A and B are shown apart, each in its own frame.
Chain A
Amino acid sequence: MDLKTLLQERDFLFLDGATGTLIQKSGVAYEHNPETLNMTHPDLITSFHRAYIDAGSDLVYANTFGANSYKLEGCGYPTDAIIKAALQNAKAAAAGTDALVALDVGPIGQLLEPAGALSFEEAYDLFAEEMDAAEEADVIVIETMTDLYEAKAAVLAAREHAPGKPILVTMTFESNGRTFAGVSAEAAALTLSGLGVSALGVNCSLGPKDLEPVIERMSRYTDLPLIFKPNAGLPDPNSSEYDIGPEDFAEAVRSIAPHGLKLVGGCCGTTPEYIACLKRALADVTYTPQTKDEGPVVCSASTVVRINGPRIIGERINPTGKKLFKKALQENDIDYILNQALSQVEAGAEILDVNVGLPEIDEQAMMVKVLKAIQGVCDAPLQIDSTKPDVLEAALRAYNGRPIVNSVNGEEKSLSTVLPLVKKYGATVVGLTLDENGIPKTAEERFQIAKRIVERAEALGIPREDVFIDCLTLTVSAEQAACKETLEGLHRVKTELGCKTALGVSNISFGLPYRELVNSTFLTMALEEGLDLPIINPNVASMTGAVRAFRVLRGIDENSLDYIEAYQNYTPPISGGAAPAGAASGGAAPAAGNRAGSANTAGASPLQNAVLKGLKTEGANATKTMLETKDPLSIVNEELIPALDKVGADFEAGKIFLPQLIQSANAAQECFTVIKEEIARTGSGSVSKGKVILATVKGDIHDIGKNIVKVLLDNYGYTVIDLGRDVDPRVIVETALKEDIEAVGLSALMTTTLSSMEETIALLRKEPALQNADGSSKVNVMVGGAVVTPDYAERIGADFYCRDAKATVDACKSVFKN
């Protein structure tokens, strides 16, 4: 019988208990990895499986938990040989019984990006190798996962390298319902359900009673059968004995079964006796499927957002019409984009739209890079915004959670390419009511397209609730009657199709003065017609405010709790005119640590004063004022740089603290932003003092020092190309070639990674295109980091040893002679 049939026919499916516990009890010795026992002691391993089958297990896990090439390195056997042997051992135990055999896939043993250095793609390859050897397996089990991203890599590898085999996934949670990596039980259930697994649940970490709240939380976010494989309680640190016996274990599982448990077994500390008890305890119990909560849900790995009322989607991560954003994309300035993400969330966005489409960049590579970077710092679920199926697919793979795809439309080409991706990756999708003939004029025509999109989605198995229809906003100053059609279409979609709705709002006011007033009024009208997902600029207080107030007035925000939290410190703007962005919390308090009065500021201009004192807003305002009378370049050279030099000198003299140096740099950055905007507006040349690559070398992940250097260089007017951490020497050389670079800064924190620094410099020196006619090197290399010494810097051929960020600025000044 196969797993599917078993799941249909039986009330419960019995899994096995721990293999590790039996290995330990047997006293058998092994080198390196317990998986090598599959080769050295096949009969013993088979006898363990057999003991579980005799005790009543319907499915046994082969002894392959750590059988990946990372963990098995140096064990003396190839990975596929161990896996095949393990499966044969399990098959031998199952021979003559109905028991099924699973390939057991555990974590790789290295943390994935962003916490660790292993990339999602590398993890996928390691798992794919395991799946390729799994021909004999009836089922693929992925267990003890603490990182949803790693679990996703394993599931995709299973689907693509062991096609057709049912996949079971269990993750390991702490008692607070989160994993070590911060993954929430809800997000795990939601994301894994979308990826097409057969069942999901929890294993390891705690005993059954302690895991009950966790499985209960999962049960509200999936209708798949649930897996429950707890430990036999907690181990005694001295004896390593677990504290829950077989009878108590079985009784506890029995009491938890009504949460939707279907596949039950044990993890650490459990033995065949536990499984036998479990089987007896559940003999007279009927399977009770859980009831999932209603309504569509999206999530990141840590945060779920249920669309049960208007939810704000932030629209700012999009280069359309934004010069600075375009520039950031062209210059690979990911921090700029991350700032956009964090400030929108702070202003009230609950989901962020991510669009990085620019004709001259590789949209697919940039989308993946940006998604990964945002996931590393931001908990809000994301909306992947592209019209290109290849970009969407790459993004859907790289996303950690359940996203919204923005978008599909009524064109046949779009329907037939986008919807299958939405289905495969278990996403939700925005459906635009346009087709081959463009945007129809009437609400009726748009409604018909919406209906077509929903029908096509449902035919593929995408539930209607996961399609969010966008009836499209047209510019009211151009087509005044169109506004009514949009709102009517929205209303009909909501009431007649029963779909959630999305709408980009800001287009409405193009060409009109005081756009904000038109936008917020239109937003309120749309909300009243049933808009669920307004796509807006959350930094505009009146827009976010309209949504928050609507939630109160429509009784969605119970007891006005969210509203009060957002506005309890609200103070109205002083004079007339629009409220400043981000005024929700009553204006930011001065940054902690500002040191008004501590620096000697006599005779300095207001701009210099602001920089010396580390005051951002004052710096920006003073720059604006000064731009009325002075040209941008003079401001940089006569005001900003001297102020920064003064702060740098104070720092070197031990008069100010490092964070205070950085605050001054940040204030200077605000001044620079104003100046850059002015230059972008007038097109009056560049203020860049030179282009510098910064990178933390291959193997090293400690990059805070490099990041401090970046802040300082940025604010001295250098253009920094930040390649990040753990950077391959080749990437540095290629970037130097592409960008025609004269200065490269490298950092390393650990003695173990110094060799990467040496290797990088050697590669830079070897590259013929980076040499002058006389054979000297075009590239000046600056090195720094805790373990780097002046002697070492010289020995590996660096041009500058930089003991701190200030010294790096000095090195750049000397390179670029400015």
Chain B
Amino acid sequence: MITPGPLDHAEAVRYLGDARVEMNDAMEQLLADCEEQVLSVAEPKFLYKVLDLPCEKLMAGEDIAMHLEGCTKAVLFCATLGTGIDRMLRVEQVKDMSRAVVLDALASVAIEQVCRQFDTFLADKFPDLFQTFRFSPGYGDYPIDLQKVFLTELDAPKKIGLTTNDNFLLIPTKSVTAITGLSETEPPKRRRGCASCNLRGSCNYRQRGDHCGS
């Protein structure tokens, strides 16, 4: 069982695009209330599968090959906060949009924290292997239509209710699929950074001299 743990408020504020606004008590209170709500509604679930490399069906484009260079195994992973969060966001958007945007940002923080917990879990499980960062369909030239392959491979629709639509958007929306390489030797330092991001031209964070994630 993986839980997101206490949610990072500063991260949520960054997702809201409000990083430069000075924090005040009212906003702190709103974040705290919304955190409680997100944590009570979220039902985090994850699946993973360790595959031996090379694995043809996961390869497409150059970026994934570079990412997994030198790795002997790859871990396919998916996680979701469940449909309850999506329903909550629908309800709150009708009732109070100001609260809904905060809940939405905190839910994004929560799924990212679930992923980080998984990274730790993986490190504990394979103490002798080095781990690359998580790489997802849609990063760089890695095609987003691999979402479907990931989910099928993990039997995610049946086991944790995680699906995609025809445009390969994950449903429930607060969900992640990713692949992590495992290597016996330390992989070359490659930050998950803006260089490999498709949004580098348009990113609001970059325009502000910021970046997403942490």
Contact = CB atoms under 8 A, between A and B. Distances in A.
Contacts of B99: 592-593, 659
B87 A115 contact: yes
A689 B161 CA distance: 44
Contacts of A537: none
Given A614-B98, A704-B100, A657 B13 contact: yes
Give the size category of A's interface with B: 35 or more
B151 to A, nearest CB: 9
A117 B165 CA distance: 7
Given A598-B26, A659-B98, A377 B90 contact: yes
Interface in A555-613: 591-596, 598
Contacts of B109: none
Interface in B90-109: 90-91, 93-102, 104
Contacts of A702: 169, 173
A741 interface: no
A786 interface: yes
B198 A180 contact: no
A442 interface: no
A788 B198 CA distance: 12
A598 B20 CA distance: 16
Given A116-B171, A180-B82, A377-B91, A598 B100 contact: no
A659 B27 contact: yes
Contacts of B165: 110-111, 116-118, 699, 701
A679 interface: no
Contacts of A117: 165-166, 171
Interface centre among B104, B158, B171, B172 (most CB of A within 10 A): B158
Contacts of A283: none
Nearest to A338: B94
Interface in A634-676: 654-660, 662-663, 665-666
B202 interface: yes
A180 B102 contact: no
Given A114-B90, A657-B27, A750 B169 contact: yes
A752 B204 contact: no
Give the size category of B's interface with A: 35 or more
B20 A654 contact: yes
A793 to B, nearest CB: 10
A172 to B, nearest CB: 8
Interface string A328-350: 00000001001100100000000
Given A115-B87, A699-B166, A146 B94 contact: no
Nearest to A804: B17
B91 to A, nearest CB: 5
Interface of A: 107, 109-111, 114-118, 144, 146, 172, 179-182, 204, 335, 338-339, 342, 376-378, 591-596, 598, 614, 654-660, 662-663, 665-666, 699-702, 704, 707-708, 711, 750-753, 786-789, 791-792, 803-804
14 contacts: A110-B163, A110-B171, A111-B165, A111-B171, A111-B172, A114-B87, A114-B90, A115-B86, A180-B82, A180-B161, A339-B95, A593-B29, A663-B98, A792-B202
Given A595-B27, A654-B20, A752-B168, 14 more contacts: A110-B166, A115-B86, A117-B166, A592-B30, A593-B26, A593-B29, A593-B102, A656-B21, A658-B18, A662-B101, A666-B96, A699-B167, A786-B199, A787-B202
Query: What are the 8 closest A-B residue pairs judged by CB atoms, nearest first?
Result: A180-B161, A593-B30, A789-B202, A662-B98, A699-B167, A659-B98, A654-B20, A595-B26
